[in-house]
Structure 1
Amino acid sequence: MSPSARSGSPREFVVFSGGEIIGDGMFKLPFVRALRAAMPENSRLVWMTTGDTVYRTLLKDLTEGLVDEYLRLPPLRVGYRDLLGPPVLDRQFDTLMDTQHKIRRTLWLRNRLSSRTFVSGSLRGFLSSPLSKARPAGPPTAHLLDRLFRIGEAAVGAPLKPVPLVLPDTRWDETARSLLDPERPCVGLVPGSGDPKKRWPLERFVALARGLVRIGMQPVFVLGPQEAGIAATLREQVPEALFPLEQVPGADPCLTIALARRLHATVANDSGGSHLVAAAGRPMVCLFRSANVRDKYAPRLEVVRALAPQDFGKTDMGGLTVRHVEEALFAVLGAAAPPPPA
């Protein structure tokens, strides 16, 4: 029997997600914080996946107190015969939110899991429970975070409002302060990405960094574990640059966010690192491989420029020149944004 079926037990809100790696987890985190804040008191948030999620591992400090339970399903079989049948869990949920848009998977979730209310964005909410309040409202939107917020609002029956990110420990801010030069304006550079097609050519990051040095600014390379192999090349070609994360073995994602809060701006490929940097809320230039991907995943920041090769009549990352990126960077640096903390 579901815990929520017992008298006086908490109401359960279940979010179905395929799983999260670092970029997905950071991108969705504003939704998780806003959903939790909008949920009624004495309710529980259950995060349901078919794969691993960094909310249980790398980002567990940032989801502490937000998610009450993690529930992992086996890989879904969604052949037509699999869409009908008895519930696969001996548990009834109060509200089940489907955050993906593959129709057969949505039908499986609606038919093979037991819930009092089902909310999905598939087919513009047509597959949600037959209650108007359970259908995500508003015109179609490409941006994934907008879709998530609409699903959450339909589920809780109240607006979802952004909640500022608070790091769980002040030591990250103290460490970040010690790793950067307080006398020079610092610009972050995030040249990595798990997908080679998403990477702006490394030599252009080098050229951008050298240009910053010439005008008295401090380039700061933000490298993840996958970028260890390019650190030596960058050090040789831009000896004036800083590599702060290399000075802290096993650096936590919280340190990346704390460092980004002290940068005047950042230029980043679309990557897990860019989503970590975006969580700091500072001015940013984000480079996307296509305009369609940008429309779906662009950071939601007060000061941001999101570039794609299609903006300049090109089809791959090589179509973004150093001049294109420099102009965007100077635009965000000159925008009305508060300076980073001293």
Structure 2
Amino acid sequence: MTPLGTVESVAILRARTGLGDLLCGVPGLRALRARLPHAHITLITYAEMAPVVERMRTYVDELLPFPGWPGIPERPVDEQALPAYLADARARRFDLALQAYGANPAANEATAALGARRTGGFFITGTIEPDLAVHLPYPEHRHEIDRHLDLMAHLGAPPAGRALEFPLTPEDEASAAAVKPDGPYALVHPGATSPSRRWPAERFARVADELARRGLQVGITGVPSEAELVAEVRGHMRAPSLDLCGRTSLGGFAALLRDAELIVSNDTGAAHLAAAVDTPSVTLFLAGDPVRWAHPRPHAVVRVQVECNPCRHLVCPIDHRCAQRLEVAHVLAAVDAL
């Protein structure tokens, strides 16, 4: 019998704040649901990720908001909320709690603290005494999707495909329709959470101008906090463009993206959303690692190999050579290849 043989409730600690992180976990959740169609599956992550988790309702029954944990860097620990969270989790008596965060012993501590009947998931060799029937050494050099599929397969839940998913609603369609251009259009997404993953705005503008010259209307997208960056890109452009920064809900952006001819984006959530809605994309990898995060065609990777990439720096401590050596011509060649 596999470790999942008698499991009726599963808690999965996925304490991430990135859209791409959660989307790349969907294939693993799909495999688990196929293996345990009647189990109650709880995803533990930050409350702000509720709009993304809501799209996973086929595979996830509920979100248990995570107040943070010492050593998990995504958010400061909410010390006041932590006792009630732990009491709530322990009262549920999960059959199985899985550390699906990654290579961080603090995440194993946070998972063990849930008080489940059995605890498993990823671990780093030498940091804990693992139950090897339900623990898996963190597969460092695998794609993010495949890491989670590996874990589920180890538990006895075989893969059910690598495709990402982001279901759309009528409200999403209406949000997109309010700003959608008439005729063929492309999207350019110059933002990213960390500066080390952002290509210069002036070069994005030159790419956008070339897309316009090819006969496409061009929309520049971003979240509301990126309004200044979007304005900078548009300010460098010669061709007309649409300011789509913060103009839709997340679901509306997904619907807008689905109907685009393509998107040119930094390595950020928009690129993963493009994979989820089957829109061709050109993704610029600077500090980020395409081995871990890139998607297969019709999604193209553009990068230059330098001495130090990929790297974990949020801000480049030297001259950001991975960005400076990536030319507009490289990006346009990928656009034309698609």
Does 1:129 pair with 2:131?
A: yes
> CA shift at 1:254, angstroms?
0.6
The answer for the alignment partner of 2:75 in structure 1 is: none
The answer for the alignment partner of 2:64 in structure 1 is: 70
Q: Which amino acid aligns with 1:279?
A: A
Q: Which amino acid aligns with 2:279?
A: R
The answer for the alignment partner of 1:48 in structure 2 is: 44
Does 1:179 pair with 2:172?
A: no
Q: How does 1:186-205 map to 2 (within 5 A)?
A: 186-205=185-204
> Residues 60 and 150 (structure 1 numbering): CA distance in 2 closer, same or farther, change over 3 Å?
closer
Q: Which amino acid aligns with 2:44?
A: M
The answer for the alignment partner of 1:59 in structure 2 is: 52
Aligned with 2:302 (options 285, 301, 307): 307
SS at match of 1:316: helix
SS at match of 1:320: coil
Q: How does 1:1-342 map to 2 (within 5 A)?
A: 11-32=8-29, 34-35=30-31, 37-49=33-45, 52-56=46-50, 58-64=51-57, 66-72=60-66, 75-76=69-70, 89=90, 92-102=93-103, 104-105=105-106, 108-109=109-110, 112-123=113-124, 128-131=130-133, 134=134, 136=136, 141-155=141-155, 157-162=157-162, 165=165, 167-177=167-177, 179-183=179-183, 185-236=184-235, 237-244=237-244, 248=247, 251-290=248-287, 293-298=289-294, 300-310=295-305, 315-332=321-338
SS at match of 1:227: helix
Distance across 1 between alignment mates of 2:308 and 2:91: 54
> Residues 178 and 226 (structure 1 numbering): CA distance in 2 closer, same or farther, change over 3 Å?
closer
- The count of residues paired between Structure 1 and Structure 2 equals 304
Distance across 2 between alignment mates of 1:308 and 1:177: 34
Distance across 2 between alignment mates of 1:171 and 1:104: 41
Distance across 2 between alignment mates of 1:45 and 1:182: 42
Higher mean displacement: 221-230 or 321-330: 221-230
Higher mean displacement: 210-219 or 187-196: 210-219
Contact 2:121 2:151 in 1 (8 A): yes
Contact 1:97 1:155 in 2 (8 A): no
Contact 1:120 1:135 in 2 (8 A): yes
Distance across 1 between alignment mates of 2:123 and 2:216: 47
> CA shift at 1:167, angstroms?
2.9
Contact 1:13 1:94 in 2 (8 A): yes
> Residues 212 and 74 (structure 1 numbering): CA distance in 2 closer, same or farther, change over 3 Å?
closer
Distance across 1 between alignment mates of 2:234 and 2:140: 46
Distance across 1 between alignment mates of 2:168 and 2:190: 27
> Residues 107 and 256 (structure 1 numbering): CA distance in 2 closer, same or farther, change over 3 Å?
closer
Distance across 2 between alignment mates of 1:207 and 1:215: 13
> Residues 225 and 77 (structure 1 numbering): CA distance in 2 closer, same or farther, change over 3 Å?
closer
Deviations 1:24-70 (A, max 9, x none): 334434444x1463242321111224xx24332x3254234523241
| TM-score normalised by structure 2 residue count | 0.75
SS at match of 1:305: strand
The answer for the alignment partner of 1:339 in structure 2 is: none
> CA shift at 1:202, angstroms?
0.6
| TM-score normalised by structure 1 residue count | 0.74
Q: Which amino acid aligns with 2:95?
A: D
Distance across 2 between alignment mates of 1:94 and 1:147: 22
> CA shift at 1:164, angstroms?
6.2
Distance across 2 between alignment mates of 1:77 and 1:330: 44
Q: Note the residue ranges of structure 1 that are not aligned, 5 or more in a row.
A: 1-8, 79-86, 333-342
> Residues 214 and 71 (structure 1 numbering): CA distance in 2 closer, same or farther, change over 3 Å?
closer
Identity %: 20
